[in-house]
Amino acid sequence: MKTTLCTIGFAGKTAEEFFRLLRESGVQKVIDVRENRVGQLSGYAKYPDIEFFLKTIGGMEYSHQPLLAPSHEIRKAYKKGKDWAVYEPAFLGLMRERGIPEAIELAGFEGVVALLCSEPGPEKCHRRLVADLLAEHWQSLGHFVEIKHLVSADSVQPKKRRKRSSGADGTNPQ
C-alpha cells in the first residue's frame, strides 16, 4: 500500500494559499491533529467551518484525531518555556503511552492525507513528529510511505501585535 502523508499548518497562510497547497498536492483527506479545533484565530481553520471548506473547495474528507494531539500540560509547558528539546521527548513519551503508532490504522490514511495543525512550518510542530512516527511504523510493516510538508515561500507571516502608546494628549507619538 502507498500513502503520501502531508503535513500542513494554517498559521501565516491566507485561506487561498492554504487550500491551494492542499489541492495542488492532491490531498484527499485532512486529519486534524489539534486538541482544540474550535478556538483558533484563523476562521477558515475552525471547526466546523474547516470541514465545510475542505469538502466544498477541494472535495476533501475531514476527520479529527485528538489522540495525535499533545496534552494540554505539554502544550502549556512549551508555550511557557519554548524549549523544543524538552517538548519533543515529552510528546513522544505521550505517544508511547497512548500506544501510537500501533493504535492507528493505516486504512484511514490511504492515498494522499494531510495532518493539520496550526504552526506555520513543520520544524517545531508535533504534526511532523506524528508523521515520522506513523511513516516509520508503516514502513517497518512493508508499506511505502512518503512524507511531504506543505509550505510555501510566499506565506504570510503571522502579524505580531504592537502595543500602541499614546501621548499625554491622547495622540499616537509615532
Instruction: Please indicate, yes or no, if residue 164 is contained in any of the structural domains.
Output: no
Find where cell 494559499 sits: 17
What is the reported pLDDT for 30? 98
What's the domain count of the chain? 1
Return the amino acid letter for 149: H
What is the reported pLDDT for 154? 59
What is the reported pLDDT for 64? 96
Distance CA 170, CA 90 (A): 48
Per-residue pLDDT, averaged over 28-46, amounts to 88
What is the reported pLDDT for 60? 98
pLDDT band for position 170 (cuts 50, 70, 90): very low
Distance CA 57, CA 11 (A): 19
**CB proximity list for 44: less than 8 A, separation 6 or greater:** 10, 15, 18, 50, 53
Sign of CA dihedral 126, 128, 134, 136: negative
Instruction: Please indicate, yes or no, if residue 1 is contained in any of the structural domains.
Output: no
The pLDDT of residue 31 is above 80: yes
Instruction: Please indicate, yes or no, if residue 155 is contained in any of the structural domains.
Output: no
Residues 103-142 pLDDT 10s = 999 999 999 999 999 999 999 999 999 999 999 999 999 9
The DSSP output letter for 34 is -
Look up the pTM and report it.
Answer: 0.86
Domain that holds residue 31: 6-149
**Beta carbons within 10 angstroms of residue 169's beta carbon:** 6
Instruction: Please indicate, yes or no, if residue 115 is contained in any of the structural domains.
Output: yes
Distance CA 83, CA 134 (A): 24
Instruction: Please indicate, yes or no, if residue 167 is contained in any of the structural domains.
Output: no
Which own/partner contact pairs does 37-41 have at CB distance under 8 Å and 24+ positions apart?
37/64, 40/10, 40/118, 41/11
The pLDDT of residue 66 is above 70: yes
**Where is 145: in which H helix or E strand?**
strand 144-149
What is the reported pLDDT for 42? 74
Instruction: Please indicate, yes or no, if residue 172 is contained in any of the structural domains.
Output: no
The pLDDT of residue 165 is above 80: no
